[in-house]
Copies of this chain bind each other. A is one copy, B any other.
């Protein structure tokens, strides 16, 4: 590397270090806002967040920072491997935002913050009309922001998809979802015809929250979550937050009558956190630690939640503790009944409560909705009815209120394009499940609770390069194959054949 390049890189690192300080502060505030911030303080805190997010934007979009990015990009061939990854990422982001004014950036953030607040209120009131205008602004400003890009793709939705899952665009997803949908509908039909009855009477049985908390902490520790570098707390809508290098925070929401639902929410979020806690330190040192895509992340969280968490082996492992903690509440439930109940397949209204099989159709519906909204084929006013129609058509159930329908998910208040990541996550993890099973006696390790070995494999194969590769490169790197829903469909068919005696 030429000394001049070295100097430029050093200067750029200084800016990134400062940006990291801002992003640490923003991470803390965002987490606070979503967890403990009192109701009447939320709007003020949200304004403070927007203010500092805007300061951070200015930092990265100063003339000095922009010229450093351009100059370093011109010298990228001189850079080390990880600095190349950094500069490519930064240059791409630069092309996206170089035409934003700080005012526009602030407006954009405010549109999303305000939409988040309005969505909360609309959901509480179960009234889409309270979210309608905010959602309109989200669409309007998403389009405006895309329009300012120097590297924009022809369709609005492709740009948004690309933000969530680099290079995985509508052309890829149309085929992917068509195959997935067909496979799922076929399996669901066969399950419907199964005579095998699964006991579910205990699913809404109550248990005190402190016991659920105790069990949640047990599960996270068991799975390899490091509490000295993270924590578990409560929120309205569970999420995991990468607040800082040694600070991966898991949240959940305890309901007295949804014990099993909480268990799988915690395992899911814990999966995200384990991913965060196992990124290579080198990535952090090169400021590329924030580059994991949503699909990669969901593949891991859903791997822990479903592939591991809903397996027979894992149920064998955790059931004794479950019975110990919930001795009073679930004295009559057997391990087999537990296993079947967490895998019962029932078309339903709420995505986050859906089983592994019907889950994919919830995503297909959202994908089709997003395409129609972004292309203008569905107007704001038509959104709830279209949603309800698709639920009826794909899952045979119809929401009777907005809360259980179009308002159930927070995502759209932050923009479009995230939902496909969940389905991609399932597809990715089924693909690397095939690999881990070649290398390890996977389910035996799970049954014995040997997460050291499992997580080590994940670290080497799945986590290590996630910041450095695009999703398309990454899945080939792990499995030697390109994205396909087939292994996921095979995984489901095999698992549910057994459960439903198909």
Contact = CB atoms under 8 A, between A and B. Distances in A.
Interface of A: 21, 24-25, 28-29, 31-32, 36-41, 44-45, 47-48, 51-52, 208-210, 227-231, 233, 243-247, 249
A247 B41 contact: yes
Given A28-B29, A28-B32, A38-B227, 8 more contacts: A21-B48, A36-B233, A38-B247, A39-B229, A40-B246, A41-B244, A44-B244, A45-B247
Contact of A41 (B36, B39, B51, B229): B229
18 contacts: A21-B48, A24-B44, A25-B48, A28-B28, A28-B45, A29-B29, A32-B32, A38-B227, A38-B247, A39-B229, A40-B228, A40-B229, A41-B243, A41-B244, A44-B244, A44-B246, A44-B247, A208-B210
A335 B199 CA distance: 49
A39 B249 CA distance: 12
Contact of A231 (B24, B38, B52): B38
Interface of A is mostly: helix
**7 shortest interchain CB distances as A-B pairs:** A41-B247, A210-B210, A40-B246, A41-B246, A24-B48, A39-B228, A40-B229
Contact of A228 (B38, B47, B210): B38
Contacts of A230: 38
A23 to B, nearest CB: 10
A25 B45 CA distance: 8
A247 B233 CA distance: 19
Contacts of A243: 41
Contacts of A39: 228-229
Contact of A37 (B52, B227, B245, B247): B247
B38 A246 contact: yes
A208 B213 CA distance: 13
A209 B233 CA distance: 16
A56 to B, nearest CB: 12
Contacts of A41: 229, 243-247
Contacts of A208: 210
Nearest to A31: B32
A235 to B, nearest CB: 12
Contacts of A246: 38, 40-41, 44
A284 B32 CA distance: 23
A306 to B, nearest CB: 27
Contacts of A40: 228-229, 246-247
